[in-house]
Amino acid sequence: MADVLLFHHALGLTPEVVWFADALRAAGHTVTTPDLYDGRTFDDLDEGIAHAGELGFDEVRAAGVKAADDLPERLVYMGMSLGVMPAQELAQKRAGAAGAVLISSFVALGYFGDEWPAGVPVQVHGMDADPIFAGEGDLEAAQALVASGADAHLYLYAGDAHLLVQAEPPVDDIAAFEVLDATLRFLGEIDSAATSAD
């Protein structure tokens, strides 16, 4: 089974993020969910983003990166929106990454390194009309990653929501279940590859 480091989005470590992590745990994976907001959560995305700004976006990212210090080298890094920053940095720069799942955001290559590391599979998930993901360059950056020949897969969903694991109960959120299903398959493939290598 995979060891996963999952970073929450700008609303904080909400019950919905915990629901997602618990679903991965129920499948047998070990999931660490650092709380980069020290217990604070938000219902409004703008308020959550403002809080991250007050803390300092670089400080939030650095705290996320530091959360990996005492964890195994071979990790799958996952991030939702704001949490993509530390997840992607670790996937590109920390040795031993087993894979990455980046949800609602993607940072263009060149920011953390000019190339995606060989042997590190990655999924990017986002909505095709999300004004942030599709409107601020993340979608194009993810498409460029796929075109680069990296072991990358882009999942595009119809809609304009930014957070695919919403602040409402996820039981009615089809996109959340689609992301979860793809993530579980991805972790299964990583686990199978690791078992075959052993």
Neighbouring CB atoms inside 10 A of 86's CB total 24
With cut-offs at 50, 70 and 90, classify the pLDDT of residue 196: low
Judge contact between 6 and 78, C-beta under 8 A.
yes
At 79-138, the pLDDT tens digits run: 999 999 999 999 999 999 999 999 999 999 999 999 999 999 999 999 999 999 999 999
At 139-167, the pLDDT tens digits run: 999 999 999 999 999 999 998 989 988 75
Print the domain residue range for 23: 3-197
Where would I find the beta strands (DSSP E) of the chain? 3-7, 30-32, 76-80, 99-103, 122-127, 152-157
For the residues 16-22, what does the mean pLDDT come to?
94
The DSSP result for 65-122, as a single string, is: HHTTTTS-SS-EEEEEGGGHHHHHHHHHHSTT--EEEEES--PPTTSS-SSPPTT--E
DSSP 8-state class, residue 131: T
Judge contact between 3 and 71, C-beta under 8 A.
yes
Give bridge partners of residue 7 from the DSSP assignment.
79
Number of domains the chain is built from: 1
Q: Using alpha carbons only, give the angle 91, 176, 67 rounded to the nearest 5 degrees.
A: 30
Q: Looking at residue 128, which CATH number applies to its domain?
A: 3.40.50.1820
